[in-house]
Amino acid sequence: MIIVMQVGASAAEVEVVAQVIRDRGIEPLVMPGEGRTAIGIPASLSNDLRTDLEAQISALDGVSKVTQTSHPYKLASREYFRESTIVRVKDVEIGGTQFVVMGGPCSVESYEQFRESARIVKSAGATVLRGGAFKPRTSPYSFQGLAEEGLKIMKSVGDEFGLVTITEVMSGDMVELVAEYADILQIGARSMQNFPLLIEAGKSGKPVFLKRGPSATIDEFLLAAEYVLNQGNPNVILCERGIMAYDRAYTRNVLDLGIVPVLKEYSHLPVIVDPSHGTGVARYVRAMAKAAMVAGADGVMVEMHPNPKAALSDGSQALTPAVFGEMMDDLRGLSGYVGRTI
Ligand code: PEP
Ligand code: MN
C-alpha cells in the first residue's frame, strides 16, 4: 500500500499517518518527493487489515490518496520508488547514463593470469573487473577456485589498475570475508533463493549483484532482491544471465533479453546482462552484448580470458582479449544511439 500525501502536507500530518501504521506493528517507509511525500507500507497485509488501514488513513488530514500495490515485491518496485536507482561504487555509476562493462575471467586462476586480465579490461576501457574466487561448479571434481588467495589477488590487482571489483559469495557465513576484499558481492544464479545469504548480503551494506536463477520467474527474481533491500541495503543490481533452455545443443541457456524492459518498467533497480553465461558460446557473446545495450540494459558482464583455451572454467564462452576490445568498440559505436556513455 502507498499513501500519497497532498502537496504541502505538513510534517506533522505525515507523522500522524506514520504513527497509525506503526500502531499496527508495521514500520512505514516515508519517502519525501518533489512537492509531496509518499508513505509506503512494505509488508504483505491481510485483506481485513488493508481495508481497515485504507479507511482509517484516507480520512486523515493531508492525505491525497491511498493506493494498493499490485505486486508482491515492494521495495524493488517502481510503484514505491519512481526514480531509477543508481548504485555508486567508487567512480562507477551503475543505473545512470553510463553503460557499465564488467569484464574478466570466470575464475581467478593465478596472480599472473588475473593481472593480465585486469590490464586488458582496463586498456579496453571497461571499469569493473570480475573473477570468481569461490566457484559454484556443477561437479565437485571441477576447479573450485582459489578461495581467499583468489580474493587477495583480486584486491591487489583491482587496486593497482583502479578497477572496481566483483566476485561471488556462495554462503551467508562467507559474506564478511568476501566483503573485506571485493567492492561488489555477486550472488550467483544457483544461489538466487539462498535466503540466509541474501539477508547477510543485505546486512553487509555492500552493493549486491543478484543473478537471476536459471528457472526463476520475474516475481521470484524481484522478491529475492527484496530480501536484500529489506535489510536496509538499497544497492542492488539485477543480472539476467540466461534461463534454462530446452534445446541445449547450440547454446547453454536462453538469454532472456525480453526481461530487460520488463524489469525497467516494474523495478527501479539497475539491470545488467551477462551474455557469456547466457549463451555459453564465445562467438555469440558480442552480438548479444550489443543487443543488451539496445534493449535498455545498464551494462554487461562479460567473461574474457587472456588465453581462453587454457581457462580452468568456462573457457568456451570466454572472449579473447582481441574480441573483448572489438566488443568495446561495438558498444562505444552504439552508445550514442541509446543515449549512453561508455
Ligand atoms: C559466474 O559469473 O562465473 C557464474 C558462475 O555465473 P552464474 O551464477 O550466472 O552461473
Ligand atoms: Mn563463469
Q: For the domain that residue 6 is a member of, what is the CATH number? A: 3.30.70.260
All cell numbers assigned to 304: 574474457
Output the residue whose Cα is nearest ligand 1's atom 3.
Answer: 106
- What's residue 33's pLDDT? 78
Q: Which secondary structure element, helix H or strand E, spans residue 240, and what is its range?
A: strand 236-240
DSSP helix/strand/coil, 321 = helix
Q: Which of 244, 303, 292, 285 is nearest to 264 (CA)?
A: 292
| 54 residue type, one letter | E
Residue 221: inside a domain: yes
User: 76: phi > 0 → left, psi -120 to 50 → alpha, else beta; which?
Assistant: alpha
How remote is the CA of residue 84 from the centroid of ligand 1, in Å?
25
pLDDT of amino acid 34 = 75
Sequence-distant (≥ 6) Cβ neighbours of residue 208 within 8 angstroms: 184, 185, 187, 201, 202, 228, 233, 235, 236, 237
Instruction: Tell me, yes or no, whether 59 and 130 share the same domain.
Output: no
Expressed as residue numbers, the domain containing 51 is 2-67
Boundary residue ending a domain (67, 98, 120)? 67
- Quickly list DSSP for 267-296: B-S-EEE-HHHHH--HHHHHHHHHHHHHHT
73 located within any domain: no
Same structural domain for residues 45 and 161? no
Q: Which pLDDT belongs to residue 69?
A: 81
Q: Does 242 share its domain with 275?
A: yes
Please tell me the total count of domains within the chain: 2
Around ligand 1, the residues with Cβ closer than 6 Å are: 106, 132, 136, 188-190, 211, 241, 277
In a domain, 72, yes or no: no
CB–CB of 198/227 below 8 Å? yes
Mapping DSSP to helix (H, G, I), strand (E, B) and coil, where does residue 266 land? helix
pLDDT value of position 282? 98
* pLDDT in 10s for each residue of the chain, 342 residues: 999 999 999 999 999 999 999 999 999 999 887 778 999 997 788 889 999 999 999 999 999 999 888 798 999 999 989 899 999 999 999 999 999 999 999 999 999 999 999 999 999 999 999 999 999 999 999 999 999 999 999 999 999 999 999 999 999 999 999 999 999 999 999 999 999 999 999 999 999 999 999 999 999 999 999 999 999 999 999 999 999 999 999 999 999 999 999 999 999 999 999 999 999 999 999 999 999 999 999 999 999 999 999 999 999 999 999 999 999 999 999 999 999 999
Ligand 1 mutation target, pool 211, 274, 279, most atoms within 8 A of CB: 211
Please check whether residues 99 and 184 belong to one and the same domain. Answer: yes
User: Are both 179 and 317 inside the same structural domain?
Assistant: yes
Q: Taking the CA of residue 29 as centre, how many other CA atoms within 13 Å lie in the half-sphere pointing to its CB? A: 18
Mutate to test the pocket of ligand 1, among 129, 138, 168 (most ligand atoms within 8 A of CB): 168
If asked whether residues 54 and 136 sit together in one domain, one would say no
> Is 304 inside any structural domain?
yes
Do 183 and 282 lie in one domain? The reply is yes
327 and 277, same structural domain?
A: yes
Whether residue 306 is contained in a domain is answered as yes
293 lies in the same domain as 242: yes
Give a yes or no: residue 81 inside a domain. no
Percent of the chain with pLDDT over 90: 91
Report the nearest atom of ligand 1 relative to the CA of 106. Answer: 3
> Which ligand is closest in space to the CA of residue 272?
1
**Residue 78 maps to a domain:** no
What pLDDT, on a 0 to 100 scale, did the predictor assign at position 35? 79
Is 100 found in the same domain as 34?
A: no
User: Cα(210)–Cα(228) distance, rounded to whole angstroms?
Assistant: 9
Same domain as 134, residue 41: no
In a shared domain, residues 164 and 236: yes
Instruction: Specify the ligand 1 atom closest to the Cα of 277.
Output: 9
Q: Which residues of 210-221 are buried (b: 16+ CB within 10 A; e: fewer)?
A: bbbbbebebebb
Q: Which residues contact 20 (CB under 8 A, 6 or more apart)?
A: 53, 56, 57, 60
Say what the pTM is: 0.94
Which CATH number characterizes residue 193's domain?
A: 3.20.20.70
Q: Are 167 and 154 in contact (CB under 8 A)?
A: yes
Query: Which residue CA neighbors atom 1 of ligand 1 most closely?
Result: 106
**H helical segments located in 134-258:** 148-161, 175-181, 195-204, 218-229
278 found inside a domain: yes
What's the burial of 11, exposed, middle or buried (CB within 10 Å: 0-12/13-18/19+)? exposed
